Amino acid sequence: MGILTDIRLFLLLLVRGLKCIKIYMRRQGKNADELAFAGMREQIEAYRRAGAQIGKFVRLWGKLDAINPHLVTIGDCTCVGSETCLITHCPINPGKIKIGKNVWIGFRCIILPNVTIGDGALIGAGSVVTSDIPPNSIACGNPAVVIRSRDPKEMKRTIEVIKNDLPVGEVPRQ
């Protein structure tokens, strides 16, 4: 996209909001999330070059530890929310972080060293994960504690959203 297009998008955002940008992008034949996803994909590739093991269909809006990104493993179809920090270094207890497949981590979570989050887990926004989270469970709080297990229908919907790069509202509930 050229400078003129960028200026139009900026002016539309100021005057009319995000909805107008999505309409404008559709008319141009592009997905509105394309701009944001392009930056995220570049960030994921940079983490991979630094040694992080990141699976397919991962949405990584948060940040990995800049000192030891090679100690982080993220499974396929996982979504890491914005402003989430995965911290692998610590003067007392440094270690690896392993996040399984089909995991959904909410906004502004902190994942501390030596933690494994099982496949299909969901971590609530603002949680501080200090210990392992079992597969197919929902955990939240500071420190994060398991509050219940996940429903298989809910898990299937989450996987569909991530694999198809869809906004959550566009996938029909079952």
Structural domains of the chain, ranges and CATH numbers in brackets: 34-165 (2.160.10.10)
122 contacts 135 by C-beta, under 8 angstroms: no
* DSSP label at residue 173: P
What was the pLDDT predicted at 11?
Answer: 52
What was the pLDDT predicted at 59?
Answer: 87
What are the beta bridge partners of residue 136?
Answer: none
The gap from C-alpha 31 to its chain's centroid, in whole angstroms, comes to 19
What was the pLDDT predicted at 77?
Answer: 84
**102-113 confidence digits (pLDDT tens):** 899 999 999 999
Q: Give me the residues of the chain with pLDDT under 50, please.
A: 1, 9, 12-14, 17-18, 32, 171
Other C-beta atoms within 10 Å of 14: how many? 8
What was the pLDDT predicted at 160?
Answer: 73
What was the pLDDT predicted at 38?
Answer: 63
What was the pLDDT predicted at 5?
Answer: 53
